[in-house]
Amino acid sequence: MDHFHYRDGALWCEDVPLARIAEEVGTPVYVYSAGAFRRHARVFREALEPAGDVHLAYAIKANPNLAVLRLLAAEGYGADVVSGGEMARALAAGIPAAGIVFSGVGKTEAELARGLDAGIGQFNLELEEEGVVLARLAREKGVTARAVLRVNPDVDAGTHAKISTGKRENKFGVPIDQAPAMFARLAALPGLDLRGVAIHIGSQLFDIAPLEAAYARVKRLVDDLRAAGHRITHVDLGGGLGVRYKAGDVPTEPADYGAMVARATRGWDATLMFEPGRVIAGNAGVLLTRVIWVKPGVVHPYIIVDAAMNDLARPALYDAWHDFDAVVPTGDRMTANIAGPVCETGDTFAMAREVDAVKGGDLAVFRTAGAYGATMASTYNSRALVPEVLVDGDRYAVVADRISAETILAAERVPEWLA
Ligand SMILES: *Cc1c(COP(=O)(O)O)cnc(C)c1O
């Protein structure tokens, strides 16, 4: 079932017409479907049932909205967090500290300390020195830090370079060939319960072969570590599954991924941990926007919408594709460029795209905007911070306010020597 669907010629989210949200909340606005989030969470969980003992930690950087986190907590998901701010969000949403994994290549000493104080379930170490600091902090606090060592398996995930994380030149993890010696040194530190290893090789992966190759390398490492006398109880296999952004995209089905995991990890005798982000959130949201003008162009007309690169950065950052559909399509089509109002050529969502014919004042959506959408928004060009709405059946709520340009201005000061 598609939670964004046409009913009597107009686009709805579940049982709420998008036109009503545009009217009452204004545009641009992100609209999320609670039903879609729940379905994705369940499909992913069921897909991994053949893999046995698993812990699911939603990668909250994909969509950290508090209401979304609450909803996923109710589905039994823990959280993968990459900053102190994300940790605070996960805790505020009611995700138990024990279910939180603290990842990130630049955790500060203050963040590690806060994580220990909160009783975070697991720290994913990115370098040896981090483990040394964490162990010292734990001893000072009289606690034990549960941790795993993130390794870089040196595989090419075959995704966009800016979201590839598992090649040896990337900043993430420790080189897998150096991991055994490092693991031995860290495992000897009092205060640290080093219980396993972690990987995460990239995002928006369509092909699971690189994941399977990485898992095979992890398996050899786990065997070596056990042979050296270490107790390995947890292996974190990261996230990275892709979603469909445009016609012809064929992402891996969660069920096929689950079957591969079950095959690749048979006999590992460890709790498997997963950090799905995009696969849970991507198709659970759209960015609802209003056409300001259709500007004649030299080659194609420009559809100028009221959403811009500051609201949805993915096209500018990764040349990403988001389908663009009219909320009330007439049946006519047009070939156009689609751009926002920001004063940068990079503020372009599509060039020479065949889309629903629209005119000034019409509503439209950018699809598959639930992941890495609102969370990457900025106020560039002194634009408001885009609001978020969650639909659940026939009700909806604004789950993040529009932060106006005036509110942002009010946080700025002119020093007295310039007054
Ligand atoms: C970003 C990230 C994820 C989530 O990636 P998706 O592609 O959204 O599933 C998981 N783990 C870590 C460590 C990450 O940095």
Kindly state which CATH superfamily the domain 34-278 is placed in.
Answer: Alanine racemase (3.20.20.10)
Q: Report pLDDT for 393.
A: 98
Q: Which fold has domain 4-32+282-410?
A: Lyase, Ornithine Decarboxylase; Chain A, domain 1 (2.40.37)
- For residue 343, indicate whether it is catalytic: yes
Q: Report pLDDT for 54.
A: 97
* Helices within 144-302 (DSSP H only): 179-187, 209-227, 254-264, 278-281
Sheet of strand 4-7, all strands in order from the earlier edge strand to the far edge? 4-7, 10-13, 16-17
Residue 97 near residue 119, CB atoms below 8 Å: yes
Q: Report pLDDT for 226.
A: 98
Tell whether residue 372 is among the known ligand binding residues: yes
Q: Report pLDDT for 197.
A: 98
Question: Pick the catalytic residue: 227, 247, 299, 343?
Answer: 343
pLDDT tens-digit map of 211-228: 999 999 999 999 999 999
Q: Report pLDDT for 38.
A: 98
- C-alpha 192, offset from chain centre: 29
Say how many Å lie between the CA of residue 20 and the centre of ligand 1. 34
Domain extent listing, the chain: 4-32+282-410, 34-278
Atom of ligand 1 nearest to the CA of 150: 13
Closest CA to 287 of 212, 365, 380, 346: 365
Average pLDDT, the chain: 96
Low-confidence ranges of the chain (pLDDT < 50): none
The one-character DSSP state at 247 is: T
Q: Report pLDDT for 164.
A: 81
Say how many Å lie between the CA of residue 405 and the centre of ligand 1. 31
How many other C-beta atoms lie within 10 A of the C-beta of residue 419?
A: 6
Q: Report pLDDT for 251.
A: 94
Q: For residue 380, what are the contacts with CB-CB under 8 A and spacing of at least 6?
A: 308, 309, 310, 342
Residue 339 near residue 252, CB atoms below 8 Å: no
Residues with CB under 6 A from ligand 1: 59, 61-62, 80, 82, 103, 200, 203, 238-241, 275-279
Q: Report pLDDT for 1.
A: 56
- Choose one of 236, 275, 278, 375 to mutate for the ligand 1 pocket test, by most ligand atoms within 8 angstroms of C-beta: 275
Closest CA to 290 of 87, 19, 109: 19
Closest CA to 340 of 27, 65, 32, 64: 27
* Complete DSSP assignment for 266-297: TT--SEEEE---HHHHGGGEEEEEEEEEEE--
Q: Model pTM greater than 0.95?
A: yes
